A and B are shown apart, each in its own frame.
Chain A
Amino acid sequence: MPTLETAPSTGGLRRIAIDPLSRVEGHGKVTLLLDADHHVQQARLHIVEFRGFERFIQGRPYWEVPVMVQRLCGICPVSHHLGAAKALDLVVGATTLTPTADRVRRLMHYGQILQSHALHFFHLASPDLLFGFDSDPAKRNIVGVAAAQPQLARQGVFLRKFGQEVIRVTAGKRVHGTGAVPGGVNKRVTRAERDELRAALPGVLEWAREGVRLVSSLHLANRERFDRFGVARSNLLSLVGKDGALELYDGTLRARGPDGEILFDGVDGQQYRSRIEEEVKSWSYMKFPYLSALGPETGWYKVGPLARVQNCDFIDTPLAEAERVTFRKAFGGAVTHAPLASHWARLIELLHAAEVIARLLDDDALSDGPLTTSGPRRTEGVGVIEAPRGTLIHHYKVAPDDLVTMCNLIVSTTHNNTAMNEVIRAVARDELDGHEPTEALLNRVEVAIRSFDPCLSCATHALGQMPLVVDVVDADGRPLASVRRDAP
Chain B
Amino acid sequence: MTAPQRPARKLRVATTSLAGCFGCHMSLLDIDERLFELLEVVELDRSPLTDLKHCGRCDLGLVEGGLCNAENVHVLREFRKQCKTLVAVGACAITGGLPAQRNSLDVRDCLQTVYLTGPSTTHARIPNDPELPLPLDQVHPLHDVVRIDYFLPGCPPSADAFWELLTALIAGRTPQLGHGLMTYD
Given contacts A154-B36, A176-B23, contact A475 B147 (CB under 8 A): yes
Given contacts A20-B53, A49-B19, A146-B39, contact A283 B134 (CB under 8 A): no
Given contacts A23-B48, A71-B155, A474-B145, contact A466 B135 (CB under 8 A): yes
Q: Using a CB-CB cutoff of 8 Å, which residues 127-168 of chain B contact chain A?
A: 127-138, 140, 143-147, 155-156, 159
Q: Which residues of A contact B130 (CB under 8 A)?
A: 466, 468
Complex: A123 Cα to B146 Cα, angstroms: 31
Q: Which residues of A contact B118 (CB under 8 A)?
A: 54, 278, 287, 408
Q: Is the CB of A77 closer than 8 A to any CB of chain B? A: yes
Complex: A73 Cα to B19 Cα, angstroms: 11
Complex: A157 Cα to B159 Cα, angstroms: 14
- Which of A23, A25, A58 interacts with B51 by CB under 8 Å? A23
Complex: A176 Cα to B97 Cα, angstroms: 13
Contact A279 B132 (CB under 8 A): no
State the A residues within 8 Å of B (CB).
19-20, 22-27, 29, 31, 44, 46, 48-52, 54-56, 58, 68, 70-75, 77, 119, 123-124, 137-138, 140-143, 146, 150, 153-154, 157-158, 160-161, 164, 174-176, 272-273, 276-285, 287, 289, 296, 395, 406, 408, 410, 443, 446, 457, 462-470, 472-475, 480-481, 483, 485, 487-488
Closest CB-CB distance, A139 to chain B, in whole Å?
9
Q: Using a CB-CB cutoff of 8 Å, which residues 10-36 of chain B contact chain A?
A: 17, 19-27, 29-30, 32-33, 35-36
Closest CB-CB distance, A481 to chain B, in whole Å?
7
Given contacts A71-B23, A276-B120, contact A472 B131 (CB under 8 A): no
Contact A55 B113 (CB under 8 A): yes
- Which of B43, B107, B128, B185 interacts with A488 by CB under 8 Å? B128
Q: Could you give 22 example pairs across A and B, Cβ below 8 Å?
A: A22-B50, A23-B50, A49-B69, A52-B110, A75-B26, A137-B52, A143-B44, A157-B36, A174-B26, A174-B30, A174-B159, A406-B119, A463-B102, A463-B115, A464-B126, A465-B127, A468-B133, A470-B136, A472-B67, A474-B144, A481-B140, A483-B136
- Which of A51, A77, A483 interacts with B23 by CB under 8 Å? A77
Complex: A276 Cα to B128 Cα, angstroms: 24
Given contacts A27-B17, A52-B102, contact A466 B129 (CB under 8 A): yes
Q: Is the CB of B101 closer than 8 A to any CB of chain A? A: yes
Contact B36 A146 (CB under 8 A): yes
Given A23-B48, A280-B122, 11 extra CB contacts under 8 A: A55-B109, A137-B52, A143-B39, A150-B36, A174-B159, A175-B23, A280-B126, A284-B129, A463-B114, A472-B144, A475-B145
Contact A55 B129 (CB under 8 A): no
Q: Which residues of A contact B30 (CB under 8 A)?
A: 161, 164, 174-175
Contact B32 A161 (CB under 8 A): yes
Q: Which residues of B contact A284 (CB under 8 A)?
A: 127, 129, 132
Contact A280 B110 (CB under 8 A): no
Q: Is the CB of B171 closer than 8 A to any CB of chain A? A: no
Q: Which residues of B contact A273 (CB under 8 A)?
A: 119-120
- Which of A75, A157, A176, A470 interacts with B32 by CB under 8 Å? A157
A-B contact count (CB 8 A): 270
Q: Which residues of A contact B132 (CB under 8 A)?
A: 46, 48, 283-285, 464, 466
- Which of B69, B98, B121, B127 interacts with A278 by CB under 8 Å? B121
Q: Which residues of A contact B110 (CB under 8 A)?
A: 52, 55-56, 463
Q: Using a CB-CB cutoff of 8 Å, which residues 23-72 of chain B contact chain A?
A: 23-27, 29-30, 32-33, 35-36, 39, 43-44, 48-53, 67-71
Q: Which residues of A contact B21 (CB under 8 A)?
A: 70-74, 77, 457
Contact A280 B124 (CB under 8 A): yes
Contact A480 B22 (CB under 8 A): no
Q: Which residues of A contact B120 (CB under 8 A)?
A: 272-273, 276-278, 289, 408, 410
Q: Is the CB of B182 closer than 8 A to any CB of chain A? A: no
Q: Which residues of A contact B137 (CB under 8 A)?
A: 481, 483
Q: Which residues of B contact A281 (CB under 8 A)?
A: 123, 127
Given contacts A55-B114, A146-B39, contact A141 B33 (CB under 8 A): no
Q: Which residues of A contact B43 (CB under 8 A)?
A: 143
Contact A74 B145 (CB under 8 A): no
Closest CB-CB distance, A135 to chain B, in whole Å?
10
With CB as the reference atom, state the residue of chain B lying closest to A73.
Answer: B21
Contact B138 A279 (CB under 8 A): no
Complex: A148 Cα to B45 Cα, angstroms: 19
Contact B27 A175 (CB under 8 A): yes
Closest CB-CB distance, A199 to chain B, in whole Å?
16
Complex: A443 Cα to B73 Cα, angstroms: 26
